[in-house]
Amino acid sequence: MTRSYELNQRVTSAPVLGHCDLDRLTCDRALLPLIAPSCRCVTIATLTVMDEESRSVTERLRKESAGSAHFERLSGTDDHDELAGVLVAPQQPLWARELAAFRLGRAGDRRSFEALVLLLNHRDPERCAGAAHALARLRDPRTARAAAALATNELRVAYALHPVRLLTALRAPESAPALITALERRLASPHDPYWRIALACVEGLGALADKRAVPVLVAARTQPRLAAAATAALARIGEL
């Protein structure tokens, strides 16, 4: 299964992303060509249960901080400059940086973008989920291209679930080509261990209802773990 979509080529030929450096919290060099200011702004779908996710992140970070005074200040302040300062200040604990980025992202402050992208690629699924939630609220035009790069990076495929789900929520021009590419790669091996990533791609393509996904969804129907979701996705696209 090959495609020549120009956008798909930009996504799949992106440089390999390195490991997250959450202490320095600067954007990975490989992301720089993907987050250029010229990217067009996209409409971002609102994720569900926003308040529930916010409470979950806040309580998790409260436990990590052992309920410190520093946590109480960061969780209670409305000063965006103070929160942004945490992202660049030395020797800040990870929970403090995550809390600052999360709150800034939910408030639409784009100074949180680089930190949230790094957290979206973190090994801890809870941090990835919180970052995806905040990025969906941030409405930064660079988000979709960064998420597409992460979703299609084979060296980080184990952490691609939340980038895939974020692409579905964003409904951006980059979303369907990236999900098609990611799903094709998962289907390339009959014993691929990342079937949950494949399932998220199938479900996302169904939600996007993009006809370009029909061939890969037809192929996904041959996989027992994906068959039901692929059939449902094809029905949503109107191909069944």
Separation CA 17–CA 7 (nearest Å): 18
pLDDT value at 12 more than 80: no
For 101-148, write each residue's pLDDT tens digit.
999 999 999 999 999 999 999 999 999 999 999 999 999 999 999 999
Separation CA 113–CA 121 (nearest Å): 13
Rg (CA), the chain: 18
Separation CA 117–CA 143 (nearest Å): 8
DSSP 8-state class, residue 22 = T
pLDDT at 239 (0 to 100): 72
pLDDT at 190 (0 to 100): 83
N residues, the chain: 240
Q: What is the pTM of this model?
A: 0.78
Q: Is 16 helix (H, G, I), strand (E, B) or coil?
A: coil
Q: pLDDT: is 91 or 21 the higher one?
A: 91
